Structure formats: C-alpha cells, structure tokens
Amino acid sequence: MSVNEAHSQVCVSTPDSTGVFRLRRPRIAVIDDDQCIVSVVRRTLSTQYDVYSHTDGSSAVQWLVGLEAEAAPDLVLCDLSLGPANGVDVYDGASALTPRLRERIAFLTGGACSERDGEFLAAHAEMIVHKPFTPYSLREWVRSTLERLSR
C-alpha cells in the first residue's frame, strides 16, 4: 500500500466554510463512565484519529446535538452501561435530534445487560465492540467501520 493510499484511508476530505476541500483526521467520540476505558481508547486511537471523550451520557448527548454537522464525530463509541443515561438512552437522544448519528453510534459492552438492552444490541449487532478488547482489535474494528460508513 502506498503512502497516499494509507493516508486516504485515515483522512477524509471535507469542505471548510469557504467550500475548499481539506483533509482532516476522522473524529471519534468516546462515552464511558470508566476513565480507564476512556484512557485506553484514547491512547489506542489518538495516533490516527481525533478523539473526544465524555464520562457522562447526558452531557454527551447535549454535546453531540449541539455540534454543527461538519464538527460531528465520524464515529461514537458509547458504553452500554453508563449509569443513569445508558447507551440506549444516548443513542435515542442523540439520533432523534441528529439523525446522521443514528448509524454512527457504536456500543462498548461487556455483555451483561437488561432484556431491553439485549434486544437493542441484537438489532444493532454490527455496531458492537465487545469488552475486553485488544488495542489491535479496536483499531481494526474502527478502521473497517469507518470504511463501511464512508461508502
């Protein structure tokens, strides 16, 4: 693979406010109430992506829906078990107000969940990252998911 091909797999071309297309790194948002998971994801992905993080589901929804379309993350990695506002609540809140996010919210999960959450995950099986994950498997999952979403 050439340097240009590798660069084009990581960067996306988007118009700025003047209409000029510029390369930018894809944006990944991480929403998890476990600061250790946030740190691991940030360290794993920050060499290739711009990574933003939130440790509270409610504030994350407010942040996501308040972003201009061109500033929205290309992918959101959201813990399913966040506490008061779990991953399904984040998905429902953010995607209702910003439909573009509907296909871009993925779920980090260790598998233990309620019946409601289990049914939700079954309907969104392609957007699940199972804990524990390795840095390699996370990078590969993010790469292939971003590639699929860009088609």
Q: Rounded CA gap, 13 and 56, in Å?
A: 31
Which pairs with CB-CB distance under 8 Å and at least 24 residues apart come from 127-132? 127/103, 129/77, 131/37
pLDDT digits over 21-75, tens only? 668 899 999 999 999 999 999 999 999 999 999 998 888 988 988 888 788 899 9
Q: What are the backbone dihedrals phi and psi of residue 15, each rounded to the nearest 5 degrees, phi first?
A: -75, 145
pLDDT attached to residue 95: 87
Q: What's the whole-number mean pLDDT along residues 107-134? A: 88
For 25-144, strand residue ranges (E) read 27-31, 50-54, 75-79, 105-109, 128-130
What are the tokens at 30?
């991480």
Averaged pLDDT score across all residues of the chain: 86
Q: Contact 67/58 with Cβ under 8 angstroms?
A: no
pTM, entire model: 0.82
C-alpha angle with apex 48: 32 to 81, nearest 5 degrees? Answer: 10
